[in-house]
């Protein structure tokens, strides 16, 4: 019987084109067979049982034998599919303990569980050069494939991110989904990591290169609006389209709709999907993980193109594969197109209220949102006294503001509802110590106020020339926000570091912009950011409300989500991207230090 099993395994491997001379393949098959503990002892015992009338044991042995052949054939076939280049990408497998020596049924319950580690074998420097040569053949236009050091640096690092970075080996510009497929196939052929890039506005090192060499997939030229379905309230665009351009186009065409997600200026749809963004409108319209992305076109690591769903506003057809890619930071697939849900433009009015301290400002915002009038609040943004000072110094405004902790509001609705809401808000902010509440007197002034909020980072730089700025964000339950902001400002004051704070206080999310001038201060900033994140997680919050994880916050994910959730995320990653080629080193934290467990 043992001879029969070995012969069958050999035939199965040959039929699936797997090479038995390949050590990883042999190791894999031995693991499968050993986990079932077939032995001469068990075979002899089965014969003895048969001779003594033990027919049940014979049937059990036959079943196990059949399963063994099936499992061996499946894994040999699976490995033959993975072997598309000389570089080996076979996954690491954990051996599963079994006590089948004492329990004949244990073999059936000892089916080995694939490892969820993200180990991978990448191409050699020679493979990288071969990949570059093939990319140049695929895209003859010399401007679309670049190895210029300056281009590689720009595409692999950001002046506003202070996390470890590596330069890419090559930058390739895609102009269509078909182009992306070609690039992905070359990446897979030579086992070269591939890193998506579009707006380059992310702050956590999302588009930095890989140390082994990487292909930067530049999607910034894929910026077209492909169709607008005004009657259905949606549009389809390419991944490199910017949210500001989309809304400006709708306005210019006289279409009374807009796309409400509004992160930093310059952000593109692909990046917004990747990070699960939100912005100032989140208190009223939610985040990217709401239903604003109806459908995505995605190129998978296999090179296959999928659409995550149809264009209907809702669907109960299976689980939500669209959301699988929202917040995945380009590690599961490259988004090339998206269908966006639009919403009606509603008339708005802008107002501001100022307070003696941040705690009073945040408490006022929290109370406002809990009243019936909160439904007419589109945005409520916090700018602390340091931020208001920076705006004044930057000189981007016509009339300087008083330097106090400030809330900016957007009220939306009919003139009657805005009037009623503003009266209620005025009363609440007064009870929380506000000394000033006023509306923008003109539409231009309203636009100026909101532009100052959106360009807070630029104002911070302008107010502190020669200094650098580390921008981070956290989010907590709204009731915890006053404590978090107060403790953070107190902590930063003790360090002596200059900082500004802005935040989407309507949903408990705030950003700290911490300034530094040298390496010593940079280390102090990093430590302060760590304390801020731990403080937020201890309040049942998150290490990032909208910036994403990237490389900057992987170390906090287990603390926030727990080992089980992180392992589930890795399991999904391993299933979709078994070679770990898509944006490796981002999002998923290194594994805990277990024997035989590597990241």
Give residues with Cβ within 8 angstroms of 345, minimum separation 6: 256, 257, 258
Task: Using DSSP bridges, classify how beta strands 334-341 and 234-238 pair: parallel, antiparallel or unpaired.
Answer: antiparallel
Question: Of all residues in the chain, what percent carry a pLDDT higher than 70?
Answer: 79
Q: What are phi and psi of 73, to 5 degrees?
A: -65, -40
pLDDT above 90 (res 499): yes
Confidence tier at 395 by pLDDT (50, 70, 90): confident
Q: Are 436 and 364 in contact (CB under 8 A)?
A: no
What distances in angstroms separate CA 193 from CA 131, 183, 330, 584, one per listed residue? 11, 11, 12, 7
Helices (H), 234-376: 243-252, 269-275, 282-285, 321-325, 358-369
Burial class (CB in 10 A: 0-12, 13-18, 19+), 49: middle
Round to whole Å and give the CA distance between 104 and 111: 14
Q: What is the mean pLDDT of residues 396-409?
A: 88
The 3 state secondary structure assigned to 168-209 is CCEEEECCCHHHHHHHHHHHHHHCCCEEEECCCCCCCCCCCC
pLDDT above 90 (res 288): yes
> pLDDT tens for residues 584-593?
999 999 865 4
Question: What rounded mean pLDDT belongs to the chain?
Answer: 82
Q: Which of 20-29, 327-336, 586-595 has the lowest mean pLDDT?
A: 20-29
Query: Hey, what are 4's tokens?
Result: 């029969």
Cα 428 versus chain centre, distance: 37
Confidence tier at 61 by pLDDT (50, 70, 90): very low
Alpha-carbon torsion, ordered 567, 573, 578, 580, to 10 deg: -100
pLDDT above 60 (res 69): no
Grouping H, G, I as helix, E, B as strand and the rest as coil, residue 366 is: helix
- Tell me the helix, strand and coil percentages in the chain, rounded to 5: 45, 15, 40
| CA-angle at 139, arms to 137 and 143, nearest 5° | 120
pLDDT above 90 (res 497): yes
Q: Which letter does DSSP use for residue 219 in this model?
A: -
pLDDT above 90 (res 119): no
The pLDDT score that the predictor gives to residue 592 is 52
> pLDDT tens for residues 511-553?
999 999 999 999 999 999 999 999 999 999 999 999 999 999 9
The pLDDT score that the predictor gives to residue 425 is 95
Confidence tier at 165 by pLDDT (50, 70, 90): confident
Q: Which of 139-143, 472-476, 504-508, 592-596 has the lowest mean pLDDT?
A: 592-596
Burial class (CB in 10 A: 0-12, 13-18, 19+), 79: buried
The pLDDT score that the predictor gives to residue 162 is 83
The pLDDT score that the predictor gives to residue 43 is 37
Round to whole Å and give the CA distance between 327 and 548: 7
pLDDT above 70 (res 331): yes
Phi-psi region of 436 (alpha: psi -120 to 50; beta: other; left: phi over 0): beta
> pLDDT tens for residues 243-285?
999 999 999 999 999 999 999 889 999 999 999 999 999 999 9
Q: What is the largest CA-CA distance in the chain?
A: 101
This prediction has a pTM of 0.78
Round to whole Å and give the CA distance between 350 and 364: 17
Q: Are 391 and 401 in contact (CB under 8 A)?
A: yes
Round to whole Å and give the CA distance between 465 and 455: 16
Q: Are 515 and 464 in contact (CB under 8 A)?
A: yes
The pLDDT score that the predictor gives to residue 116 is 59
The pLDDT score that the predictor gives to residue 445 is 84
Query: Hey, what are 202's tokens?
Result: 């992310």
Grouping H, G, I as helix, E, B as strand and the rest as coil, residue 405 is: strand
The helix-helix angle for 519-538 and 481-495 (nearest 10°) equals 160
Q: Which letter does DSSP use for residue 382 in this model?
A: E
Q: What is the mean pLDDT of residues 62-83?
A: 42
> From the CB of residue 306, how many other CB atoms can be counted at a distance below 10 Å?
14
The pLDDT score that the predictor gives to residue 120 is 78
């Amino acid at each position: 019987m043992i001879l029969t099993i070995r012969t069958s395994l050999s035939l199965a491997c040959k039929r699936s084109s797997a090479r038995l001379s390949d050590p990883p393949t042999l190791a894999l098959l031995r693991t499968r067979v050993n986990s079932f503990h077939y032995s001469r002892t068990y075979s002899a015992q089965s014969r003895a049982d048969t001779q003594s009338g033990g027919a049940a044991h014979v049937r059990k042995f036959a079943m196990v034998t059949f399963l063994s052949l099936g499992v061996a054939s499946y894994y040999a076939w699976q490995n033959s599919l993975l072997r598309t280049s000389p570089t080996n990408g076979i996954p690491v497998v954990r051996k599963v303990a079994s006590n089948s020596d004492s329990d004949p049924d244990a073999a059936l319950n000892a089916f080995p569980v694939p490892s969820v580690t993200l180990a991978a074998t990448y191409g050699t420097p020679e493979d990288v050069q071969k990949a570059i040569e093939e990319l140049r053949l695929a895209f003859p236009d010399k401007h679309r494939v670049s190895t210029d050091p300056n281009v590689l640096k720009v595409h692999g690092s950001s002046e506003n991110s202070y996390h470890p970075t590596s330069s890419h080996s090559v930058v390739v510009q895609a102009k269509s989904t078909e182009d992306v497929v070609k690039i992905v196939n070359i990446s897979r052929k030579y086992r070269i990591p591939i890193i998506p890039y579009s707006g380059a506005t992310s702050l956590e090192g999302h588009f930095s290169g890989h140390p082994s060499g990487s292909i930067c997939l530049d999607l910034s030229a894929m910026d077209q609006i492909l169709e607008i379905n005004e009657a259905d309230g949606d549009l389809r665009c390419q991944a490199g389209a910017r949210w500001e351009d989309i809304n400006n186009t709708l306005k210019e065409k006289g279409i009374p709709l807009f796309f409400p997600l509004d992160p930093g200026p310059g952000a593109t749809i692909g990046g917004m999907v990747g990070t699960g963004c939100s912005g100032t409108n989140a208190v009223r319209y939610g985040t990217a993980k709401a239903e604003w992305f109806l459908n995505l076109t995605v190129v998978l690591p296999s090179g296959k193109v999928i659409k995550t769903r149809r264009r209907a506003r809702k669907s109960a057809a299976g689980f939500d594969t669209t959301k699988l890619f929202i917040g995945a930071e380009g590690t599961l697939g490259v988004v090339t197109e998206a269908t966006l849900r639009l919403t009606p433009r509603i008339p708005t009015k802008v107002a501001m209220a100022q307070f003696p301290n941040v705690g009073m400002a945040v408490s006022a915002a929290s109370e406002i949102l809990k009243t019936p009038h909160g439904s007419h609040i589109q945005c409520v943004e916090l700018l602390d006294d340091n931020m208001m000072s920076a705006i004044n110094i930057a000189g981007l405004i016509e009339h300087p503001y008083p330097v106090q902790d400030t809330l900016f509001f957007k009220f939306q609705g009919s003139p009657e509802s805005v009037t009623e809401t503003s009266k209620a808000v005025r009363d609440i902010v007064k009870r929380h110590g506000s000394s000033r509440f006023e509306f923008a007197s003109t539409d231009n002034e309203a636009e100026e106020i909101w532009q100052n909020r959106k360009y807070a980072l630029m104002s911070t730089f302008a107010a502190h020339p020669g200094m650098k700025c580390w921008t981070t964000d956290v989010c907590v339950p709204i009731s915890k926000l006053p404590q978090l902001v107060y403790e953070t400002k107190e902590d930063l004051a003790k360090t002596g570091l200059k900082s500004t704070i802005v935040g989407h206080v309507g949903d408990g999310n705030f950003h700290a912009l911490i300034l530094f001038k040298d390496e010593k201060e940079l280390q102090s900033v990093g430590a302060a950011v760590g304390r801020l994140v731990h403080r937020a997680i201890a309040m049942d919050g998150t290490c990032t409300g909208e910036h994403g994880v990237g490389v900057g916050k992987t170390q906090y994910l287990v603390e926030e989500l727990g080992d089980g959730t992180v392992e589930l995320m890795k399991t999904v990653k391993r299933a979709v991207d078994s070679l770990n080629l898509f944006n490796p080193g981002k999002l998923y934290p290194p594994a805990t230090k277990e024997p035989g467990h590597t990241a």
